[in-house]
Structure 1
Amino acid sequence: MRGPRAGRWLLAAPMALLALATVYPLVFTGNVALKSRNDYIRDRFSPARSPHWDNFATAWTNADMARYFVNSLVVVTASVALLLLIGSMAGYALSQLNFRGSRVLFLGCLAALFVPFQVIMVPLARMLVESGLMDTYPGLVLAYVAQFLPFTVFLMTSYYTGVPGELVDAARIDGNTLYGVYRRIMLPMGRPALLSVGILDTLFCWNDVLIALLVMQSPEHRTLMTGVTSLRGQYSDNIPAFASGVLIAALPVLLIYLFFQRQITAGITAGATKG
């Protein structure tokens, strides 16, 4: 009995330290956000004596966080919709349709996962400038799709590989076209993977700073995360207001993870083990 218990403690101790290291920055930021400017200058580590909720109002209104939030919502929604549409179609084609070059295309998507964005940053910027899409919402949406599509295609292909080919053949015999099979068979069966990859793509796009800084150069077109980076200079003498802006930007991500963590884990596991 002592052996298994000792093993559990050896595993639980580092996990507890890792959890503490993850939670502490969020707790510290929340504590700072509730302080007044004078209280923070006096002692930044002490608990907030009286909550100053006006810091959140200052960050939301004076720092134009509302505009940044809407910008992020529009861009992320459009990007994830395109990623799921193209990724699910490509996953269906690469996993169920035997055509010349399908294996090469899949390996190309897999290889694209290992290419960092910094490698394609300059060519992408030149393409957006020449096409007139720089500093536009469609330009940022296309940049997100180009960056995160290989991951989406890889996960959807891995998941759809586990779908029995007999179902596809039976649907084709019943008179369904390729699009009919995709709409009636593949989309319903791929809901767990679509939900998982959709949540992950949402987190990727929402948390991005580098691509948004490259594409969106006008202050009114900034996304929420790039707006938070600008708060550091705007409120360099008011750290509690800056911390409030950070919490506002992080809140959607936290809520998504708290409510959908089981779906994320289940979908990724299913996509990784099928086929």
Structure 2
Amino acid sequence: MAGRRLTGWVVAVPMAGLALATVYPLVFTTNVALKTRREYVLDRFSPAGSWHWENIAAAWSSVGMARYFLNSVIVVACAVAVLSLFGSMAGFALARLRFRGSSALFLGVLAALFVPFQVIMVPFARIMADTGLLDTYPGLVLAYVAQFLPFTVFLMTSFYAAVPPEIVDAARIDGNTAYGVYWRIMLPMGAPALLSVGVLNALFCWNDVLISLLVMPSADHRTLMVGVTSLRGQYSDDIPVFASGVLIAAVPVLVVYLFLQRRIADGVTAGATKG
């Protein structure tokens, strides 16, 4: 009993420290956002004497934050829809359809997961400029699809590979084509994994700065995270307003995570065990 209790403490203490390290930046940012500039200069770590919501209003109305928020919603929604469609189709094909080169193609998907965007950034920007996709919504959507499609295909392939093959065989005996098997059987069965990977892709796209900054150079088409960086330059001497902008960008992600954290965990472990 004593050994089990000691083991529990050994696990609980580091986890509590990790949770505190994760929550503290959000608490600190919220506290700074509700301070006046004078309160922050005098003591940045003390609790706010009174809550100054006008900082959030100033951050929202300045440098086009409302427009940046709308840009992020449009781009993220379109990118997640395209990623979900093509990722699920490719995952089904690689998991259940045997064709020449399928194994090599799957290995190529795995290899693409290990290529950082910084490595392909220069040729990528040149291709985008040559095709006229710079500073356009379709250009940024395609950039996100290219960046996160290998991750989506890998998770969906792992999930579909865990589906009992008897289900697919029964559907084929009933006269379904490969498309019919995907649309009528595999797509509904893969809905939980598809929702999980959709949430993960939405978080990835929403938090991105580098790709968005490269593809959307003009101020009118910036996404929210890029807008927060421009807010830092304009309000370098007014940290509470900048912290309010960071809070505006973080709240949607926090809300999504709180309501869909189980789905996110399922997405990470999709296909880890055979059903």
SS in 1 for 2:49: coil
Distance 1:44 1:106 in 2: 51
Q: CA deviation at 1:253?
A: 0.6
Counterpart of 1:124 in structure 2 is: 124
**In the alignment, is the contact (CA less than 8 A) between 2:200 and 2:267 conserved in 1?**
no
Q: After the TM superposition, which segments of 4 or more aligned residues of structure 1 sit over 3 Å from their partners?
A: none
Structure 1 counterpart SS, 2:166: helix
How many angstroms does 1:264 deviate by? 1.6
Q: CA-to-partner distance for each residue in 1:6-31, whole Å, 9 max, x for gaps? A: 11111111111111111111111000
**Which residue matches 2:178?**
178
Q: Deviations over 1:86-105 (max 9, x none)?
A: 00000000000010000000
- 1:207 is the counterpart of 2:207: yes
Q: Which residue of 2 aligns with 1:26?
A: 26
Q: Deviations over 1:176-235 (max 9, x none)?
A: 222221111011110111011000000000000000011000011000000001111111
Paired residue for 2:38? 38
Which letter maps to 1:77?
A
Q: In the alignment, does 2:164 pair up with 1:164?
A: yes
Amino acid at match of 2:221: H
- Of all paired residues, the percent bearing the same amino acid is 73
TM-score when normalising by structure 1? 0.97
Q: Is the 8 A contact 2:30 2:247 kept in 1?
A: yes
Is 1:62 equivalent to 2:62 in the alignment? yes
User: Which residue of structure 1 lines up, in the alignment, with residue 236 of structure 2?
Assistant: 236
TM-score normalised by length of structure 2? 0.97
* Paired AA for residue 58 in structure 2: T
Mapped to 2, the partners of 1:84 and 1:21 lie a distance apart of 33
Counterpart CA distance in 2 for 1:18 and 1:142 is 36
Cα deviations across residues 119-148 of structure 1 (Å, max 9, x unaligned)? 111111111001000111111100100000
Q: Which runs of 5+ in 1 are unaligned?
A: none
Hey, what does 2:98 align to over in structure 1?
A: 98
**SS at the partner of 2:91?**
helix
> Distance in 2 between the 1:108 and 1:137 partners?
28
Cα distance in 2 for partners of 1:120, 1:65 equals 30
Corresponding residue number in structure 1 for 2:223: 223
Question: What do the CA deviations read for 1:138-160 (whole angstroms, capped 9, x no partner)?
Answer: 11100100000000000000000
On the 8 A contact 1:158/1:274 being kept in 2, the answer is no
Partner SS state of residue 141, structure 2 = helix
In the other structure, the counterpart of 1:52 is: 52
Q: Counterparts of 2:169 and 2:6 in 1: how far apart (Å)?
A: 54
Cα distance in structure 2, aligned partners of 1:247 and 1:108: 39
Distance 1:241 1:63 in 2: 12
* 2:176 aligned counterpart, secondary structure: coil
CA distance in structure 2 between the partners assigned to 1:210 and 1:155 by the alignment:
24
Residue 151 of structure 2 corresponds to 151
Q: CA contact under 8 A between 1:134 and 1:215: conserved in structure 2?
A: yes
- Residue 271 of structure 1: SS of its match in structure 2? coil
Task: Give, in whole Å, the separation in 1 of the partners of 2:10 and 2:170.
Answer: 53
Residue identity matched to 2:147: Q
| Structure 2 contact 155–270 (Cα < 8 Å) conserved | no
